[in-house]
Structure 1
Amino acid sequence: MKAIKSISLKKVMRFAKPYQGRFNAVIVWAISLSIFAALRPYMLKETVDRYLTTHDSKGLLLFILLMAVILLLEVASQFYFVYWANWLGQDIVKDIREKLFRHISNFKMKYFDNEPVGKLVTRSVSDIESIASIFSQGLFMIVSDLLKMVVILGIMFYMNWKLSCIVILGMPVLLYATRIFQQKMKIAFEEVRNQVGNLNTFVQERVTGMKIVQLFNREAIEYEKFKVINQKHNDAWLKNILYNSIFFPIADIVSSVTLGCIIWYGGLNIISGDSATTFGDLFAYTMLINMLFNPLRQIADKFNVMQMGIIAAERVFEVLDIDDHLQTSGTVEATHFKGDIRFENVRFSYIEGEEVLKGINLKVNAGETIAIVGATGAGKSTIINLLNRFYEIDSGTITIDNTPITEFTIGSLRKQIAIVLQDVFLFADSILNNITLYNPKISREDVILAAQKIGAHDFIMSLPGDYDYNVKERGIMLSSGQRQLIAFLRAYVSNPSVLILDEATSSIDTYSEELIQKATETITKGRTSIVIAHRLATIINADKIIVMDKGEIVEEGTHYQLLNKDNGYYKNLYYSQFAVTE
């Protein structure tokens, strides 16, 4: 475990390399702070012994002014130390967060099938913020406190070695208590991080699926489940609070007892006439003991803060170290496809041993529109996922224009293939930005012209703010049909070489369906198109129909060719589903 923590801390420190100058400056300010802080008690001793006891008012004024200067220097050192340490921490966190987000963005879809979204949100937000505490409240603070303690101990022994020995006698007790406290807090912090992740995952899922929660009247049930998870989170923090409540009073007692012993022993020496101990020593040691024990007490707390940051770093680097889920990209830049697509003996399974596609052979000629039909689970959507390389095939070959898709760079491949999915996802942004997705090559005029062509312009103009209308999260302010029209428009303005449509219309009105039919005809014209067909009109107009069942292509041909097959799969499907619904 210690080795893992050491590795995680080293990985975090690598992100500090671009800020080496600032890192060094923080160390310099830490050294300055420790020196100026330790000088104040010594100056107090000198003031008492040299000028108070001798009634020298001029010398007293001079030393008071000197102490004021040292205090100002200490304040300045404290300011720059804290500011630069936090500044460095935030810049490092910014870099780690950017790398993490870029890394997650390149994962295969299979990774997101198995990992809860709430967990990834926790890693990207709260865990990374905890890493910042390594610099702002952990590592540099510990270094500063240790330097301060070293300087203070040096000054103590320089002033009075006998009194310093009494101070040293009290430190093992505090060090032992600190060690026990650190071990207990480590376990408590790990439990807190686990419960934070569980809480985030639960809340994210329930808020996203709130419609289902309310539709099935599960508010009370989900509330009770939330109370259980929240109680575990609360219990984890209570352990943290308990250990703090025990440790800090013990530290205060050790500090107070040590101070009492110093006053008692030093006072006896002064009364007995021992010149080695002065009133200035007692004044100075009163401050020095607090300055020595407080950092030691706080180091335990700061070690725990740093420990929490390192635990968070371990979680973040667990994600960053995942390589087997990263998409491998080819070297060929796809600039334009003619649109000849081939699936040759393609096999694929989402779960090992459970094949979804069983040796598919499919040919789509450039400019053709093919419709894929079949029962739920036949493998229709899987073909879409594989063509875009959302998932990697188990065996076989998929080519576009006689080039395997694995040879194309992921970005250029997907630029040439546009998809309109059945489940349309819109961001909480304007209609214009949801269409262009901030592509600078697509102007507002291009979007308006495209909207007019596919029949979406009138409905957009009827909205307050028209193309600047904010659709809110997931496009909740629009109907299902309107969201799908936006998705059609998004695909159309990207001017793809290949178009893939999942044109489900089961939940939209007749008028929207007519608009979508017009949009389908417009955007499929002149380009290779693969349509998961849900409408009879699309099926009849397709150049070829692919009929799938249980991961295999069982029939293919035109609508009328397939209808003429006696007891054909498509014929039965047509009369049981399409003809009835139309």
Structure 2
Amino acid sequence: MLVRICRTFLQPYRSDIARVVLLQLLSTLAVLYLPTLNADIIDNGVLTGDTGHILTVGGWMLAVTLAQVAGAVGATYYGARTAMALGRDLRAAVFERVQSFSAREVGRFGAPSLITRTTNDVQQVQMLCLMAFVIMVSAPIMAVGGVLMALNQDVPLSGLLLAVIPVLAVVVTLIVRRLRPLFRGMQERIDTVNRIMREQITGIRVIRAFVREEHEQRRFAEASASLMDVAVRTGRLMGLMFPLVMLVVNLAGVAVVWFAAHRIEDGQMRVGALTAFLAYLMYILMAIMMSTFMLMMLPRAEVCAERIQEVLDTDSSLTPPADPVRELAVRGRLELRGVEFRYPGAEEPVLREVDLTAEPGRTTAVIGSTGSGKSTLLGLVPRLFDATAGTVRVDGVDVRRLDPALLARTVGYVPQKPYLFAGTVASNLRYGRPDASDEELWQALDTAQAREFVEALEEGLAAPVAQGGANLSGGQRQRLAIARTLVRRPEIYLFDDSFSALDYATDARLRAALARETGGATVVVVAQRVATIREADRIVVLDEGRVVGSGTHRELMAGNGTYREIVLSQLTEEEAA
């Protein structure tokens, strides 16, 4: 997976990668040439007392060093730029894919895991590529070049390399094989820590209300301890690698000096050649150590790449139309015909054989007991998920054939749990229509019964809104969410229990204002509260995913037992009449 991701996302940066390779080649060849020049100074300058030769060769060493520095700096620059671009493109690709997911795919992965994959996992792949450009490109050049230059200095002494390199390879391979499963476990535990942290931050009020701080602290401590346990085991293996490699390297250095001393004594080798050979031995072993460092990062990056690719390979169940409809003749008619929806793996469908028609200029209400499928029914219209059977039609066209932008303009959806983005009141209201004027924003706030509290804010429309609207009450969030939809002026309004946090007086004023504002539009309201929907032109009763009644409040009270039971659970007989 790692190779596949790199091959796909590094394709646009081939020219920069070529520059990295060329500059690393220049830098490494310069490094490899320096010990030979140093040996020449020792043998032909220092030992013979030839100062002129020392200065001449020293000048060449200085020039080679400058070339090496220039190559290294250039390679680092292009390598870092390419690695950062890879990270940017990967994050964008994962984000774009997640944005196309339906609620089904998001639920499958989970929000904490998707966040980890977009941030931490991408960062691991990005860091591996950075280290590969900065280190790994030069490592094989240095290793091969070091062997050739060492052979050039003394062939018999180079035989030690045949013993050292296999030992190092075995040590590194054994450790890396054990690191891979540990790194996968580490990423999964990071997901768990993220999930628990999100739950605790989001549910802080519930935690305090039930005095469960100690319980939540224990949950987080257990997840954190589990992550620490895997990290410690990983750290032990990683910490074991460098001492073992250094032990092999130092033993090799001692062996070289031991055997070289006898060869120098016998006149078979010169002192400068020994100095150069030791330098080349260090270069070879340094290249192996750099490769070792890369191999330590490789298992974790491979695991992260698999997790990223899993997201990229997941197709959304909301497939875009091949030939989308971009214009509608009629405006606002909504039809559901024989609709069924079943969650993946569920034994029973949530909705079955649902027929419903909502006309422009009329308000259609949907009511039912908890779990009857009311919110699921509304979610099918803006394609939060698609029906598993039957059709959902807007103005006679299946929503699966509509251009997504057209569907978004036509349908305005206020969810059961309104979400506000970090910013200002104005930026949230303009979320679906950036060109809306301040006057239009105030008009929408007026209709949504939110003008009074927004005017009371010190900065009015410019007042800050925290992420999720955490600095506002539930009722204020609901009214701002309704105002945000009103600013867009769609042809179809869907209100999914969007008045539940309002008091009865505000609810009544809001419904009256909405009736004036949305007079020519199609309005579908899902509600638990009978008072919210009793004046609707048509009320549809859902029970266990089926439509069991349809009509006005008076008609249903007279002839539908399910509706009558719901009404009398909230109102007296006199109030219901």
**TM-score under structure 1 length normalisation:** 0.93
2:250 aligned counterpart, secondary structure: helix
1:493 aligned counterpart, secondary structure: helix
Is residue 133–residue 306 contact of structure 1 (8 Å, CA) maintained in 2? no
Unaligned runs of 5+ in 2: none
Pair 1:458-2:452 in alignment:
yes
Is residue 195–residue 229 contact of structure 1 (8 Å, CA) maintained in 2? yes
Unaligned runs of 5+ in 1: 1-6
Shift of 1:203: 1.9
User: Counterpart of 2:48?
Assistant: 54
1:332 is aligned with what amino acid? Answer: V
Equivalent runs, 1:283-298 vs 2, <5 Å: 283-298=275-290
> Residue 569 of structure 2: which of 568, 576, 579 is its match?
576
User: Counterpart of 2:393?
Assistant: 399
Q: Which whole-Å CA distance do the structure 2 matches of 1:400 and 1:507 have between them?
A: 30
User: Counterpart of 1:308?
Assistant: 300
> Residue 317 of structure 1: which of 309, 318, 340 is its match?
309
Pair 1:162-2:156 in alignment:
yes
Q: Which whole-Å CA distance do the structure 1 matches of 2:140 and 2:101 have between them?
A: 43
Pair 1:348-2:341 in alignment:
yes
Shift of 1:538: 4.0
What percentage of aligned pairs have identical amino acids?
24
Q: Residues 30-76 of structure 1: CA distance to partner in whole angstroms, max 9, x if unpaired?
A: 21121011111111111111111111122212222221221122122
Change (3 A) 1:536 1:247: closer
Q: Residues 310-332 of structure 1: CA distance to partner in whole angstroms, max 9, x if unpaired?
A: 22111100111012534333511
Cα RMSD of the aligned pairs, angstroms, is 2.2
Shift of 1:510: 5.3
User: Counterpart of 2:14?
Assistant: 20
Is residue 317–residue 386 contact of structure 2 (8 Å, CA) maintained in 1? no
2:465 aligned counterpart, secondary structure: coil
Is residue 346–residue 358 contact of structure 1 (8 Å, CA) maintained in 2? yes
Is residue 108–residue 391 contact of structure 1 (8 Å, CA) maintained in 2? yes
Q: Which whole-Å CA distance do the structure 2 matches of 1:539 and 1:189 have between them?
A: 55
Is residue 149–residue 280 contact of structure 2 (8 Å, CA) maintained in 1? no
Pair 1:195-2:189 in alignment:
yes
> Residue 388 of structure 1: which of 382, 388, 394 is its match?
382
Pair 1:204-2:198 in alignment:
yes
User: Counterpart of 2:235?
Assistant: 241
Q: Residues 7-33 of structure 1: CA distance to partner in whole angstroms, max 9, x if unpaired?
A: 431232211111111011111112112
Q: Which whole-Å CA distance do the structure 2 matches of 1:571 and 1:579 have between them?
A: 11
Change (3 A) 1:33 1:439: farther
User: Counterpart of 1:408?
Assistant: 402
Q: Which whole-Å CA distance do the structure 2 matches of 1:569 and 1:189 have between them?
A: 55
Shift of 1:472: 0.6
Is residue 363–residue 538 contact of structure 2 (8 Å, CA) maintained in 1? yes
Give the number of aligned pairs. 573
Change (3 A) 1:91 1:337: farther
**TM-score under structure 2 length normalisation:** 0.94
Is residue 433–residue 487 contact of structure 2 (8 Å, CA) maintained in 1? no
Q: Which whole-Å CA distance do the structure 1 matches of 2:238 and 2:448 have between them?
A: 65
Q: Which whole-Å CA distance do the structure 2 matches of 1:438 and 1:66 have between them?
A: 67
Change (3 A) 1:64 1:519: farther
Shift of 1:564: 3.4
Is residue 366–residue 525 contact of structure 2 (8 Å, CA) maintained in 1? yes
Shift of 1:225: 2.2
User: Counterpart of 2:272?
Assistant: 280
Q: Which whole-Å CA distance do the structure 1 matches of 2:527 and 2:327 have between them?
A: 28
Change (3 A) 1:536 1:240: closer
Is residue 176–residue 299 contact of structure 2 (8 Å, CA) maintained in 1? no
Q: Which whole-Å CA distance do the structure 2 matches of 1:504 and 1:438 have between them?
A: 18
2:128 aligned counterpart, secondary structure: helix
Pair 1:97-2:85 in alignment:
no
Q: Which whole-Å CA distance do the structure 1 matches of 2:530 and 2:432 have between them?
A: 36
User: Counterpart of 1:218?
Assistant: 212
Shift of 1:519: 4.3
Q: Residues 284-331 of structure 1: CA distance to partner in whole angstroms, max 9, x if unpaired?
A: 223222221122022122122133222211110011101253433351
> Residue 70 of structure 1: which of 64, 72, 77 is its match?
64
Q: Which whole-Å CA distance do the structure 2 matches of 1:221 and 1:298 have between them?
A: 46
